[in-house]
A and B are shown apart, each in its own frame.
Chain A
Amino acid sequence: MAVPLLELKNLVVTVGRTPQARRILDGISLTLEPQEIVGVVGASGAGKTVLSKAVVNWLEAPLHVQSGQVLFEGQDILTIAEGEMRTLRRRVAYVGSNPMGALDPTLTVGSQIVEKLRAVVPGLARAEAEKRVISLLEAVRIPSARSRFNDYPSQFSGGMMQRALIVDALVTNPALLVADNVTQPLDVTVAAQVIRLMKELTADFSTAVLFVSSSLPVAREACSRILVMEDGRIVEEQSTEALISRPNYPYTQELVAQTPKIWSEKAEVPRLSDDREVVVSLRDASQIYKVRRKSGFGGVNEVRAVRNVTFDVRRGDSFAIVGESGCGKSTLMRLLSRLERPSSGEVRCNGADIAKLHGKDLMGFRRTLQMVLQDPFGSLPPRTSVGHMLEEPLRTHGWRDKAKIRERVLKVMNEVGLAQALYEELPLGLSAGQRQRINVARALVLEPEILIMDETLSALDQAEQFKLLDLFQKLQKEYNLTYIFISHDLAMVRKVCNRVAVMYLGEVFELAENDRLFFDPGHPYTKALLSAMPTLEERRYQPEDCLLEGEPPSPIDIPAGCSFRSRCPHAFAPCATINPSLTVRGDQNFAACHLVVPPLATAAQDRQRVIA
């Protein structure tokens, strides 16, 4: 029998060297054949990252290999000398999950990859190395690779950076690529591109990939075989489709069952009548930032972050704003919460233009509309006790009675499921889920009517997300809250939101009810988003038909006409000149595309003929 490319034999990794030390990896055995993509899936803390580092012999103290072997082409890489390992690095490569932190910001991307190549392949001429790097940058479809070669890391977007790092890994023609959560920081459409790229590369460069991921649907996209990890052990190993249709181990079953389904499950969102009171309404809201030009003589560039956004949110709605990074979601959030005033247009809340509020009215607005922020770590002041943090908004709003404040805070803590014992504690050592509950509590303490959730759940793992979503639904029923979810996670949106706005480059491309959006999207961009979503079900929209190439244009120079034109598979002549406006698609559904035919279009065409 041929020697497999990679074989782990009963690998045990512990924290520290004592025999009682905690085992992070507990008897891992796996094999990897050439050109195979094998997925490793597990919850956070299951030991996936340690496994991927062990495979490339990168464990640092206090992590310690207690027993077992990592055989690469039959050779145990944990025991070989450092010099030999360095030559072996040519054959084993690693890509991590933080593309932006992986390169030195003061050197150009190209020179860093060349440096790595020359370090592991001594004696290679610089010119030759450069040529190879540029050809690889082209292979991963970085546009105008030759000039990009001399760009600095800050000039690359996240998706491009991840591709550059894949080049960095592939530049030595490795036999094994360890990809540790590579798609995690990327947008769905870009992540789909990266996965497709990796699949092509295994064929083109005959590389085997160990694909470590925390998300089963993502691993399903990429891998032919999946290993499931729990608490440092491999609990199940099956080919991808078999694993999804017939999971054996309880944890895997749970994982498969918990993965949200978009099309095969009915959304539990209640149908709400259309004549509810409008609580938040945007009228042509736009925001333009002026950025000083870096080259040439002065002058400013206008970044049009939000462009003519118009929609209404009614009381009791769970309204979702979805889109990829850079689409203006966060700017819109800042407008809605009056952290910034729109440069034109209006944002109205309960009938009043919030840009004009000040003094008492502004405080009233703040009480009505609260927001839960995204980052569970940065959004809590590090040296304030939890109780004090929650008291602060009350004090700001003029509460003075200490006993009353304490009572209110404890009530809210109880509602969101925080132990009372945390009152005098610092938020240190709390899990992301707990911290996010504090965030929710801080927003709820003022008894708001509207809550904006700015990517509130994106930092949490699946199980924790479900718990919080249940909490949100419970709170909504109890207090008749209106939610505005800002998210890139379509599966979550499908589950909880009744109305969805899809944004691209600062514009709303589609505005529709939940069912209509997911089953009959009007805009090609929505279709592309749906097709790029990693899921465990049969797709309604095939990536082959809809998947986007490239990345969104820069918001500094938005092309004339339809801004989606550069990536749209259906673009035709009018798209180049006329920017489509939101067109009615019946009922309360709108899409901004020339291909959308309004119900009254036939009548309009008749009229045109008469004029002509």
Chain B
Amino acid sequence: MSVIVETSPSRIAPSLTRSIPRRVFDKAASMPGFRIGLAIFVLLVLAAALYPEISGIDPTKMNVRARLLPPLFIGENWSLAHPLGTDQIGRDMLVRSLVGLRYSFLIGVASVVVMLIIGCTLGTIAGYFGGRTDSIIMRLTDAQLSIPMIILAIAVLGVSRPTIPAIILVLGLSNWPVYARIMRSIVMTERQREYVRASKLGGSTDLRIILTLLVPLLLPPVLFTSVLDVARMMIFESTLGFLGLGVQPPTPTFGNIIADGRKYLLNAWWIATMPGIFLGLTLTSINLMGASLERARNTIHGGSE
């Protein structure tokens, strides 16, 4: 069926002043989901940045007399000084969770960035140039995929000291093949399109086409899905912490707090639960924002505004 789409100038005129990224952002900002997500996120960031310093409580300081205090209004001997209770050696759970959030978030975001850089670069190169380049890079990807992440983590972190940069590197290195695969397949379909040819005719070099044409076009959807991976990496960090290969105690991260709290799950459930709640909140807020941005992008680029 052939349908003629007429664009009347009157429909176009009002939005003339706003550029397209601006319109995507404005559209996202008008969605309730984005606002809720942003509010939670800002709150968490502020709390994590400021509360440990302002309250002056040391997250590693022990206080045996105040051990295993429950959170506010639960049980009998709760105290205002420790709103989320204390753990088995009397450390304040709120401060520990917030400091844990800092580290977990740092590790989550940084490892996703590492993963994106490696994966997208290799994937784009493989997809764009094809041929031998493609087969070499893809065999490399296959090799990487064949090594289970946990084994790699145990090998690397077991041998060297599990510092934060090492953890970021291990997490990033073990997860890039997925992005390489995705980027390769979408670049492969796009590079044969006429507009790429048009750009070549305009005199663009391959590098220019990749950087100014393909990457801006293809990266955003990948970025939006990678937001979900921030959450996954935070969980992986927790897994590593749980195995004792994460950030070493006494520095708190979600992983080692939860690992510690497991032993006391029956008589002090809050030790493992509190960081879990923070983890959940962070991920929810990130996902809400990511989803709204993605939806806004689709509406604008789909032409409904």
On whether the beta carbons of A379 and B1 are closer than 8 Å, the reply is: no
Interface centre among A380, A381, A392 (most CB of B within 10 A): A381
On whether the beta carbons of B194 and A396 are closer than 8 Å, the reply is: no
On whether the beta carbons of A378 and B303 are closer than 8 Å, the reply is: no
On whether the beta carbons of A339 and B197 are closer than 8 Å, the reply is: yes
CB distance from A190 to the nearest CB of B (A): 22
On whether the beta carbons of B19 and A424 are closer than 8 Å, the reply is: yes
On whether the beta carbons of B303 and A428 are closer than 8 Å, the reply is: yes
Interface of B, helix, strand, loop or mixed by DSSP: helix
Contact of A429 among B7, B15, B193, B208 (CB under 8 A): B7
On whether the beta carbons of A45 and B303 are closer than 8 Å, the reply is: no
> Which residues of B are found within 8 Å of A431, using beta-carbon distances?
4-7
Given contacts A421-B12, A428-B301, A428-B303, contact A381 B213 (CB under 8 A): yes
CB distance from A260 to the nearest CB of B (A): 22
Interface residues on A, range: 35 or more
> Which residues of B are found within 8 Å of A362, using beta-carbon distances?
203
> Which residues of B are found within 8 Å of A367, using beta-carbon distances?
203
On whether the beta carbons of A385 and B19 are closer than 8 Å, the reply is: yes
Cα(A437)–Cα(B229), bound, Å? 42
Q: Does A21 have its Cβ within 8 Å of any Cβ on chain B?
A: no
Q: Does A517 have its Cβ within 8 Å of any Cβ on chain B?
A: no
Interface string of B91-125 (1 = CB under 8 A from A): 00000000000000000000000000000000000
Contact of A392 among B7, B20, B202 (CB under 8 A): B202
On whether the beta carbons of A378 and B301 are closer than 8 Å, the reply is: no
On whether the beta carbons of B199 and A392 are closer than 8 Å, the reply is: yes
Interface centre among A50, A363, A421, A446 (most CB of B within 10 A): A421
On whether the beta carbons of A419 and B12 are closer than 8 Å, the reply is: yes
Q: Does B200 have its Cβ within 8 Å of any Cβ on chain A?
A: yes
Interface string of B215-242 (1 = CB under 8 A from A): 0110000000000000000000000000
On whether the beta carbons of B1 and A366 are closer than 8 Å, the reply is: no
Closest to B199 in A: A392
On whether the beta carbons of A424 and B203 are closer than 8 Å, the reply is: no
Q: Does A290 have its Cβ within 8 Å of any Cβ on chain B?
A: no
On whether the beta carbons of B217 and A384 are closer than 8 Å, the reply is: yes
Instruction: Enumerate A355-377 residues with CB–CB distance to B below 8 Å.
Output: 362-363, 366-367, 370-371, 373-375
Contact of A446 among B202, B212, B301 (CB under 8 A): B202
On whether the beta carbons of B217 and A382 are closer than 8 Å, the reply is: yes
On whether the beta carbons of A370 and B12 are closer than 8 Å, the reply is: no
Cα(A45)–Cα(B5), bound, Å? 9
On whether the beta carbons of B202 and A421 are closer than 8 Å, the reply is: no
Cα(A400)–Cα(B17), bound, Å? 22
Q: Does B2 have its Cβ within 8 Å of any Cβ on chain A?
A: yes
> Which residues of B are found within 8 Å of A263, using beta-carbon distances?
none
Cα(A14)–Cα(B204), bound, Å? 48
Cα(A547)–Cα(B302), bound, Å? 47
On whether the beta carbons of B202 and A393 are closer than 8 Å, the reply is: yes
CB distance from A373 to the nearest CB of B (A): 5
Closest to A385 in B: B20
Closest to B213 in A: A381
Interface string of B1-26 (1 = CB under 8 A from A): 11111110100110111111000000
> Which residues of A are found within 8 Å of B20, using beta-carbon distances?
383, 385, 424, 426
Closest to A422 in B: B12
Contact of B303 among A396, A424, A426 (CB under 8 A): A426
Interface centre among B7, B198, B217, B300 (most CB of A within 10 A): B198
Q: Does A439 have its Cβ within 8 Å of any Cβ on chain B?
A: yes
> Which residues of B are found within 8 Å of A337, using beta-carbon distances?
201
Closest to B1 in A: A49
Contact of A379 among B9, B194, B212 (CB under 8 A): B194
> Which residues of A are found within 8 Å of B13, using beta-carbon distances?
421
> Which residues of A are found within 8 Å of B73, using beta-carbon distances?
none
Cα(A421)–Cα(B303), bound, Å? 16
> Which residues of A are found within 8 Å of B195, using beta-carbon distances?
378-381
CB distance from A128 to the nearest CB of B (A): 37
> Which residues of B are found within 8 Å of A422, using beta-carbon distances?
12
On whether the beta carbons of B194 and A378 are closer than 8 Å, the reply is: yes
Q: Does A397 have its Cβ within 8 Å of any Cβ on chain B?
A: yes
Q: Does A73 have its Cβ within 8 Å of any Cβ on chain B?
A: no
Contact of B197 among A50, A370, A373 (CB under 8 A): A373
Q: Does A442 have its Cβ within 8 Å of any Cβ on chain B?
A: yes
On whether the beta carbons of B198 and A442 are closer than 8 Å, the reply is: yes
On whether the beta carbons of A392 and B6 are closer than 8 Å, the reply is: no
9 tightest Cβ-Cβ pairs between the two chains A and B: A366-B203, A428-B303, A393-B202, A379-B194, A378-B194, A45-B4, A44-B2, A381-B195, A421-B12
Enumerate chain A interface residues (CB-CB to B < 8 A): 44-45, 48-50, 53, 337, 339, 362-363, 366-367, 370-371, 373-375, 378-385, 392-393, 395-397, 419, 421-426, 428-431, 434, 439, 442-443, 446
Instruction: With A381-B195, A422-B12 given, name 12 new contacts (CB 8 A).
Output: A45-B2, A49-B1, A383-B20, A383-B217, A395-B212, A396-B208, A425-B15, A426-B300, A429-B5, A431-B5, A442-B202, A446-B202
Could you pull out 9 A-B pairs where Cβ atoms are within 8 angstroms? A45-B2, A45-B4, A383-B217, A384-B213, A421-B13, A424-B15, A426-B301, A430-B7, A431-B6
